[in-house]
Chain A
Amino acid sequence: MSKPAAEASSTEMTSRRHRAPITAQDIALIGVFAALIAVLAFAPPIPVGNFGVPITLQTLGVALTGLVLGPWRGAAATGLYVALGLLGLPIFAGFVGGFGVLAGPSAGYLLAFPLTALVTGFIARAVLSRGPVRWRVPLLFLAAISGSMLVTHPLGILGMSINLEVGLREAFFFDIAFWPGDVVKSLVAAGAAALVHRAAPWILTRR
């Protein structure tokens, strides 16, 4: 009984000095959340709200991964998803996979995902460790929307501009079409992530 306790305290000591070691639990979380992004990417566009605007869910998965897993594990899960998709698994939206997506209009968005999860995760971790509990959902929403606005959309616009041979201005106007859906998805992600952190506080305990 005493031996595991001593080991646990020693890992806590090291985690105070630098990052905690990666455990099998972390590997499981990374793998399962990569699968979560894939499953959400498969989902056909869902009509949402009174107007029934169809919304695709791939970026919802990325936001959730960052919010729930924090920066490093979130970026690892998203990076795993993108890497396996590029190698040829059909896990991107529309059951597409392979290096071929690098030729398509969504290349910039896809390559931006790990960085998005990193930025969202950093803000989310700060919010969860220091922010007041009452403001948790709005602040998590802020984390999700800033990851998307600071990373996903700029890189996505750049990718569209290069691959479709249009100017940055036109690409920007195509991109605006995704903004309302993005706000809805960030709201849902923030609410769901707050719920997860309340139901399963062990996810972020040592990080």
Chain B
Amino acid sequence: MRIPRRPRPLRPREQVLGRRAPGDSFLHRVPSGAKVLVLALVTATVLLARDPLVSAGVVGVVLGAVVAARIPLLMVLGLIRRLWILLVVLVVLQVMLNDPLTAAEVLSRILACLLAAQLLLLTTEPADLVGVLRRVLAPLRPFGVRPGRVALAALIMLRAIPYLADLFHLGGQQARARGLERDLRARTVPLLLGAVDHARNTGRALNARGIEEV
């Protein structure tokens, strides 16, 4: 089957959060609230069942969904590449302290939960998750929680992450230039002061738009 070619859209600069799988599959189109709900149910099932067969089944279903949605398998398995040392240490500890069966159970449980979460992440925009958070918090309104406020803080957070990541990188380079790459203080203080400054400017920008008390 030949897939019609579309012009490639400009890619936004998203180094930190931009791990979204390309495409427009059924997984991309399902409302993000439903995806979060399914993920929560799957995680709860795996955590409560504590059964290697259930966990392995979830891993299978997740990989099946990945293939069905035509998400590059490497993007999902990249998670394991980033965490493999931790996973190896876990298995060794389990075999030493418990029996191999428990090791298999713990490993499959962690893999199932993390892979399912990774699938959500690859098919959902971060800003959509803020909307989900807002809806989740709506029932807490009588207890003094203001979902709009939380969503505003969450959006400010999403905006601040790339800025602060740049700042942290820059601070590391400056520390290295001074021969202080092993000095934790030299690497974190510029980041902290920059964060306070950014928060001050954001607060002023909100005030300038007439938002004083949210």
A52 at the interface (CB under 8 A from B): yes
Bound CA–CA A138/B40 (angstroms): 43
Query: Which of B120, B188, B202, B212 is in CB contact (< 8 Å) with A98?
Result: B120
Q: Which one of A84-92, A112-120, A121-129 is at the interface?
A: A84-92
- Chain A, 69-93, CB within 8 A of any chain B CB: 76-77, 80-81, 83-84, 87-91
User: A98-B117, A104-B113 given as contacts; is B160 within 8 A of A46 (CB)?
Assistant: no
Least CB distance from A204 to B in Å reads 12
Residue among B39, B117, B133, B185 with max Cβ neighbours from chain A (10 Å): B117
Chain A residues, Cβ within 8 Å of B132 = 87
Contact (Cβ within 8 A) B192 A36: yes
Least CB distance from A115 to B in Å reads 17
The A interface is mostly helix, strand or loop, or mixed, namely helix
Interface size grouping (class) on chain B? 35 or more
Bound CA–CA A100/B168 (angstroms): 28
Chain B residues, Cβ within 8 Å of A202 = 200
Contact (Cβ within 8 A) A80 B94: no
Contact (Cβ within 8 A) A80 B153: yes
B73 at the interface (CB under 8 A from A): no
Chain B residues, Cβ within 8 Å of A27 = 149, 152-153, 156, 203, 206, 214
* Chain B residue with Cβ nearest A36: B195
Q: Which one of B2-10, B64-72, B121-129 is at the interface?
A: B121-129
- Chain A, 38-76, CB within 8 A of any chain B CB: 38-40, 42-43, 46-50, 52, 55, 57, 60, 64, 68, 76
Chain A residues, Cβ within 8 Å of B211 = 24
Residue among B93, B161, B168, B199 with max Cβ neighbours from chain A (10 Å): B199
Bound CA–CA A202/B204 (angstroms): 13
- Please count how many residues in chain A sit with their CB below 8 Å of the partner chain's CB atoms: 71
Contact (Cβ within 8 A) A185 B184: yes
Least CB distance from B146 to A in Å reads 9
Query: Which of B43, B117, B153 is in CB contact (< 8 Å) with A76?
Result: B153
Query: Which of B110, B160, B185, B213 is in CB contact (< 8 Å) with A31?
Result: B160
- Chain B, 23-79, CB within 8 A of any chain A CB: 36, 39-40, 43-44, 46-47, 79
Chain B residues, Cβ within 8 Å of A185 = 184
Bound CA–CA A52/B181 (angstroms): 11
Bound CA–CA A101/B192 (angstroms): 27
* Given A48-B182, A94-B82, 19 other A-B residues pairs in contact with their CB atoms under 8 A: A21-B213, A25-B200, A27-B206, A32-B164, A34-B157, A39-B168, A42-B16, A76-B153, A84-B157, A89-B121, A99-B117, A100-B118, A104-B113, A104-B114, A165-B102, A165-B105, A166-B97, A192-B192, A196-B196
Give 3 closest A-B pairs by Cβ, nearest first.
A98-B117, A31-B156, A100-B113
7 interchain pairs, CB-CB under 8 A: A31-B152, A36-B195, A90-B19, A96-B114, A103-B112, A163-B106, A166-B97
